[in-house]
């Protein structure tokens, strides 16, 4: 069995849902408490033992590459000012991972973005993380998927149950329960089914562990939902051809690509912050009009 060593993170999207905030900065660089969203995603990758990240980028995304690079000038200034803790924290960011970036020249869809990684990934299984989906869990979601992969040796998509009236926003999986914990054998997949037509409530969230055969499948996938090359369509082909599992991960997922999901992530993460947590809790109590606030 081949080891999972690489993670692909598509970051080419325009971020129109956050305009005008994202007019001049990538949506992946929007801050959640004290770090950009993309850093949480990369930290999940690193905590799962992966050191090579392939970013699929587009024009205007260089801030992301810079964020994970070494900044000599900043480092020198922090050193001179004896801001050692900050200096160390920044050094961690740049030493977290090896970043390779590949340009997606045209916005042809998520499937096309992943296909762009084929030469860098090569013939080995790899992870895909979508930057809008933040997952907080005791065992990182990617690690949970790697643990399952080591038992099933097949592609895995992470899923969560969503209300039936929200299924139209997701790739949806229909599958049969297996003997593995929280795991289903995929029987059918459909990208963003029209209201009332969804085969189940099991929604794909932005974590995938894929066998390299997905690249051939993607290369042969015609544009689907929204006229774009959809990853879900290629996954459906792969599931039928060689099998695939859906895994109901343990943890909490935030849709950081949506304003409300983004705010919830900020509040939950800040509430656990060592210095911000308590004062924020007091503030929230006072805003809500709770009696016992001080
Ligand atoms: C993408 C995928 C979809 C998946 C979703 C999870 O859609 O195409 O299958 O359910 O991510 O966030 P997007 O949200 O990019 O439109």
What DSSP state is assigned to residue 44? H
130 C-alpha to ligand 1 centroid (Å)? 8
Does residue 278 surpass a pLDDT of 80? yes
Does residue 144 surpass a pLDDT of 70? yes
**Does residue 136 sit in the same domain as residue 227?**
yes
In a domain, 1, yes or no: no
C-beta separation of 293 from 285 below 8 A: yes
227 C-alpha to ligand 1 centroid (Å)? 14
**Does residue 207 sit in the same domain as residue 289?**
no
Tokens encoding 160: 């969560």
Q: For position 198, which CATH number holds?
A: 3.90.550.10
Q: Which domain holds residue 294?
A: 259-294
Does residue 55 surpass a pLDDT of 70? yes
Sequence-distant (≥ 6) Cβ neighbours of residue 78 within 8 angstroms: 84, 86, 87, 90
264 C-alpha to ligand 1 centroid (Å)? 19
pLDDT band at 50 (very low <50, low <70, confident <90, very high): very high
Cα atoms in the 13 Å half-sphere on the side-chain side of 131: 27
Give the pTM: 0.93
pLDDT band at 292 (very low <50, low <70, confident <90, very high): low
pLDDT at res. 247: 98
Residue nearest (by alpha carbon) to ligand 1 atom 7: 170
**Does residue 241 sit in the same domain as residue 264?**
no
Does residue 91 surpass a pLDDT of 90? no
53 pairs with which residues across the strands?
A: 7, 99
Residue of 186, 190, 197 whose CA lies nearest to 155: 186
Does residue 293 surpass a pLDDT of 60? no
pLDDT at res. 54: 97
In a domain, 63, yes or no: yes
**Does residue 270 sit in the same domain as residue 192?**
no
38 C-alpha to ligand 1 centroid (Å)? 17
Among 14-18, 99-103, 177-181, the minimum mean pLDDT is found in 14-18
Q: How many domains does the chain have?
A: 2
228-245 pLDDT tens trace: 999 999 999 999 999 999
Place of tokens 């070494």: 70
Residues having CB within 6 Å of any atom of ligand 1: 110, 130, 132-133, 170-171, 191, 203-206, 231-232
In a domain, 219, yes or no: yes
**Does residue 194 sit in the same domain as residue 265?**
no
**Does residue 220 sit in the same domain as residue 138?**
yes
Atom of ligand 1 nearest to the CA of 110: 8
């Amino acid at each position: 069995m081949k080891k999972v060593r690489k993670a692909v993170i598509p970051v080419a999207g325009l971020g129109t849902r956050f305009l005008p905030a994202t007019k001049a900065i990538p949506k992946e660089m929007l801050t959640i408490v004290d770090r950009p969203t993309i850093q949480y995603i990369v930290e999940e990758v690193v905590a799962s033992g992966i050191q090579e990240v392939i970013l699929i980028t587009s024009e205007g995304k260089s801030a992301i590459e810079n964020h994970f690079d070494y900044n000599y000038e900043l480092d020198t200034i922090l050193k001179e000012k004896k801001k050692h803790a900050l200096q160390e924290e920044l050094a961690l960011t740049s030493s977290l991972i090896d970043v390779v970036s590949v340009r997606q020249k045209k916005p042809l869809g998520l499937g096309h973005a992943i296909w762009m990684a084929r030469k860098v990934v090569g013939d080995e299984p790899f992870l895909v993380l979508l930057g809008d989906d933040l997952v907080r869990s005791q065992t990182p979601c990617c690690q949970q998927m790697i643990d399952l992969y080591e038992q099933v040796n097949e592609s895995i998509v992470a899923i969560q149950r969503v209300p039936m009236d929200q299924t139209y926003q997701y790739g949806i999986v229909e599958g049969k329960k297996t003997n593995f914990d929280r795991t289903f054998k995929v029987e059918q997949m459909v990208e963003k089914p029209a209201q009332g037509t969804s085969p189940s409530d099991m929604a794909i969230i932005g974590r995938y562990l894929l066998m390299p055969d997905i690249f051939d499948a993607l290369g042969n996938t015609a544009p689907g939902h929204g006229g774009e090359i959809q990853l879900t369509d290629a996954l459906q082909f792969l599931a039928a051809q060689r099998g695939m599992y859906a895994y109901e991960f343990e943890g909490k997922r935030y849709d950081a690509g949506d304003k409300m999901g983004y705010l919830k992530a900020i509040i939950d993460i800040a509430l656990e912050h060592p210095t911000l947590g308590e004062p924020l809790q007091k503030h929230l109590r006072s805003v809500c009009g709770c009696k016992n606030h001080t």
